[in-house]
Amino acid sequence: MLVLVTGDASSGKSEYAESLAMKLSEKRIYAATMKNDGKESRERIERHRRMRAGKGFVTMECPERLKEKAAVILETEPDYFEGASILLEDVPNLLANEMFGNKPCGDPLQDILFLSQRSAHLVIVTGNLFTGGYGYDSMTMDYLRKLAGLNRSIAAKADEVWEVVCGIPERWKGKGI
């Protein structure tokens, strides 16, 4: 099952996605995409670790090249993802890391589909970054266009699509978990 959860910053989307991942399987993997490169990111990473504490998640650090990271794990542990519920947190970070990192860009959609095909369930968190206006430079606008396209592509393939507003989840696609 492929599930997409979206929402604005601090909307409760991460907590909701985590609850879905926990319902879907007792084997839980947290695919973390945030780079630990400053005070703000460290604080956010620590907050998310506290949220997951004691809930049975194994963390897989994958700020970029998700498919490559997963393939390496599968080489040594072929059953690593089998039956697992993977929580991928989050698409905006993954895309930004791929677009603005030091190495050439990978293909986040193909990376996500690779992970989806190797796990029982993939719950993906993305963000609504499109309400801030359009007075951005061309590089930022390119990122926003690519993120919008990536979100649409994931939603089209997803079994379920949820939006969280003020902590309230609203289902846009699927029958509900």
Is the peptide bond prior to 159 cis by the omega test (within 30 degrees of 0)? no
Radius of gyration of the chain measured on its C-alpha atoms:
15
Reported pTM: 0.90
Question: Rounded distance, CA 45 to CA 110, Å?
Answer: 25
Domain boundaries, the chain: 2-128+135-171
Instruction: Say what the pLDDT of residue 104 is.
Output: 65
Q: Per DSSP, what are the bridge partners of residue 61?
A: 32
Query: How many residues are present in the chain?
Result: 177
Instruction: Say what the pLDDT of residue 48 is.
Output: 78
Segment-wise mean pLDDT, segments of 10 residues, the chain, 177 residues: 94 94 95 86 83 87 87 89 93 92 80 93 92 80 93 97 96 91
Environment class of 117 (CB within 10 Å of its CB; exposed 0-12, middle 13-18, buried 19+): exposed
If you write DSSP's letter for every residue of 4-26 in order, what string do you get?
EEEESTTSSHHHHHHHHHHHH-S
Q: Give the domain 2-128+135-171 fold.
A: Rossmann fold (3.40.50)
Report in angstroms the alpha-carbon separations of 69 from 35, 75, 114: 15, 10, 11
Instruction: Please state the φ and ψ torsions of residue 137, each to the nearest 5 degrees.
Output: -70, 170
In the DSSP assignment, the letter for residue 27 is S
Determine the 3-state secondary structure of 49 from DSSP: helix
